[in-house]
Structure 1
Amino acid sequence: MTTTTEAVPTPATAGEPLRPHAEQVYAAELTALAAADDRPRPPHWRLSPWAVVTYLLGGVLPDGTPVSPKYVGSRRLVEVAVATLATDRALLLLGVPGTAKSWVSEHLAAAVSGRSTLLVQGTSGTTEDAIRYGWNYARLLAEGPSDAALVPSPVMVAMRTGAIARIEELTRIPADVQDALITVLSEKTLPVPELGDEVQALKGFNVIATANDRDKGVNDLSSALRRRFNTVVLPLPAREEDEVAIVSSRVAEMASSLELPAVPTAVEEIRRVVTVFRELRSGLSADGRTRIKSPSATLSTAEAISVVTSGLALSAHFGDGQLRAADVAAGLVGAVVKDPVSDQVAWDEYLEVVVRPREDWAAFYRACREVG
Structure 2
Amino acid sequence: MSSILRQHAEDLYAQELEEIRKQDDEKKPTNWKLSPQAVVLYLVGGKLKNGFEVSPKYIGSKRLMEIAVATLTTDRALLLYGLPGTAKSWVSEHLAAAISGDSTLIIQGTAGTGEEAVRYGWNYAKLLAEGPSEKALVETPVMRAMKDGKIARIEELTRIGADVQDTLITILSEKTLPVPELNTEIQAVKGFNIIATANNRDKGVNELSSALKRRFNTVILPVPDSIDEEIDIVRRRVESFEKVMELPAEKPALQEIRRIVTIFRELRSGVTLDGKTKIKIPTGTLSTAEAISVVNNGLAMAAYFGDGQIKAADLAAGILGAVVKDPVQDKIVWQEYLETVVKPRDEWKDVYRACRDLPSM
Does TM, scored on the shorter chain, surpass 0.5? Answer: yes
Q: Offset of 1:108 from its aligned partner?
A: 0.1
Match of 2:201 in 1: 214
Q: Give the Cα–Cα distance (whole angstroms) in 2 for the partners of residues 363 and 338 of structure 1.
A: 24
Q: Give the Cα–Cα distance (whole angstroms) in 2 for the partners of residues 178 and 46 of structure 1.
A: 29
- Does residue 109 (structure 1) correspond to residue 96 (structure 2)? The answer is yes
- Does residue 21 (structure 1) correspond to residue 5 (structure 2)? The answer is no
The two structures have a TM-score, normalised by structure 2, of: 0.98
For residues 265-276 of structure 1, the aligned pairs below 5 Å read 265-276=252-263
RMSD: 1.1
Match of 2:312 in 1: 325
Match of 2:149 in 1: 162
Three-state SS of the structure 2 residue aligned to 1:210 is strand
Q: Offset of 1:267 from its aligned partner?
A: 1.4
Letter aligned with residue 66 of structure 2: E
Letter aligned with residue 73 of structure 1: G
> Aligned pair in 2 of structure 1 residues 15, 62: CA closer, same or farther (>3 Å)?
closer
Letter aligned with residue 276 of structure 1: I
Q: Is the 8 A contact 2:224 2:230 kept in 1?
A: yes
> Aligned pair in 2 of structure 1 residues 115, 59: CA closer, same or farther (>3 Å)?
same
- Does residue 337 (structure 1) correspond to residue 324 (structure 2)? The answer is yes
Match of 2:264 in 1: 277
Match of 1:10 in 2: none
Match of 1:5 in 2: none
Three-state SS of the structure 1 residue aligned to 2:295 is helix
- Does residue 298 (structure 1) correspond to residue 285 (structure 2)? The answer is yes
Q: Offset of 1:218 from its aligned partner?
A: 2.2
Cα deviations by residue, 1:34-58 (Å, 9 ceiling, x for unpaired): 1110000000000000000000000
Match of 2:218 in 1: 231
Q: Determine which of 42, 51, 57 is the counterpart of 1:70.
A: 57
Letter aligned with residue 352 of structure 2: Y
For residues 162-201 of structure 1, the aligned pairs below 5 Å read 162-201=149-188
Q: Give the Cα–Cα distance (whole angstroms) in 1 for the partners of residues 121 and 246 of structure 2.
A: 40
Q: Offset of 1:285 from its aligned partner?
A: 0.6
Q: Offset of 1:207 from its aligned partner?
A: 0.1
Moved more, 340-349 or 161-170: 340-349
Q: Give the Cα–Cα distance (whole angstroms) in 2 for the partners of residues 237 and 370 of structure 1.
A: 32
Q: Is the 8 A contact 1:172 1:217 kept in 2?
A: no
> Aligned pair in 2 of structure 1 residues 16, 194: CA closer, same or farther (>3 Å)?
same
Cα deviations by residue, 1:163-182 (Å, 9 ceiling, x for unpaired): 00000000000000000000
Gaps of 5+ in 1: 1-13
For residues 327-366 of structure 1, the aligned pairs below 5 Å read 327-366=314-353
Q: Give the Cα–Cα distance (whole angstroms) in 2 for the partners of residues 357 and 36 of structure 1.
A: 54
Three-state SS of the structure 2 residue aligned to 1:167 is strand
- Does residue 35 (structure 1) correspond to residue 22 (structure 2)? The answer is yes
The two structures have a TM-score, normalised by structure 1, of: 0.95
Q: Is the 8 A contact 2:165 2:208 kept in 1?
A: yes
Gaps of 5+ in 2: none
Three-state SS of the structure 1 residue aligned to 2:39 is helix
Letter aligned with residue 262 of structure 2: T
Q: Offset of 1:266 from its aligned partner?
A: 2.6
Q: Determine which of 35, 42, 45 is the counterpart of 1:48.
A: 35
Q: Give the Cα–Cα distance (whole angstroms) in 2 for the partners of residues 120 and 339 of structure 1.
A: 31
Q: Is the 8 A contact 2:160 2:206 kept in 1?
A: yes
- Does residue 256 (structure 1) correspond to residue 243 (structure 2)? The answer is yes
Match of 1:289 in 2: 276
> Aligned pair in 2 of structure 1 residues 186, 265: CA closer, same or farther (>3 Å)?
closer
